[in-house]
Amino acid sequence: MADLGFIGLGRMGRHMARNLIRAGHTVWLFNRSQAVVDELVAEGGRRAASPAEVARNARVLFTCLSTPDVVESILRQALEGARPGDIFVDHSTIGVSDARRLAAMCAEKGVQFIDAPVSGGPWGAEAGTLTIMCGGEKAAYEAVLPYLQVEGKKLYHLGPVGAGSVAKLCNNLLVGIHAAALAEAFVLGTKAGVDPKVLYEIISGATGNSAQIERNIPKFIFPGNFEAAFSIDHLHKDVALAVTLAKEENVRLLLGALTQQLLEEARAAGYGQQDEAALIRPLEELTGVKVRA
């Protein structure tokens, strides 16, 4: 069994850390909120007072944090306790240039960095069935593979540092575009007089279906419960990172830019902390209809 660390115990991280603990590893924990640390310590985790203390005790450190700035701040602190040969695995969604910069920062201390963003939501994190997209040295990836196999089922080594972030940003770009598209389709159909339940039944079995339709409509939009599993704010951050990457790579991204604007509209309307399915709400308000079962 290994000495591991986990920093960032939010909707995703808490489940991933728990699965590593249940697999028998010693997992050192740090999080801004202590309630979840208390919960995981009761299940066998170890409490650390700082990111540096986590790194002093763990040879592999996992992070699952909110923004590139937060990731950099935490990793700088963790490097104070790290030793040459340690491996930092970042499950956050950050920019490609961010991942490369952080890898260079870690390399100065002899620490290897893997950008390893995940997809599958809190449900996948809890079940240990996440898709994990990794960029970094192949030897480092192979060294942490046994732990990644506890967290996920579909594991990919895509190339050098930054490659994992490219794949994740492409995925979340589509999440945003599909969420915006389904909002327009279902508001249009409902406004025009079709029962949204029947419309969902038709589309979910037809060529217009998508994973976002199957996620957002029955779980969030029909019941009108927009408690966040993945928030508008987080999706806005990811789509903005994809738009930035497109500019760097000189790729036209019209749908991405429009989706970014729609997410900004939803944030301005006060829905930033709600689930990304709430992208439908500004259009519902504009048209005076609600897509509810």
Residues noted as catalytic: 168
Enumerate long-range contacts of 261-265, CB under 8 Å, 24 or more apart.
262/180, 263/176, 263/232, 263/235, 263/236, 263/239, 264/236
Distance CA 233, CA 95 (A): 16
Number of other CB atoms surrounding residue 61 within 10 Å: 27
DSSP string of 200-226, one letter each residue: HHHHTTSTT--HHHHHHIIIIITTT--
- In total, the chain counts a number of residues equal to 293
Distance CA 254, CA 104 (A): 32
b/e string for 77-115 if b means 16 or more Cβ within 10 A? bbbebbeeebbbbbbbbbbbebbbbbbebbeeeebbbbb
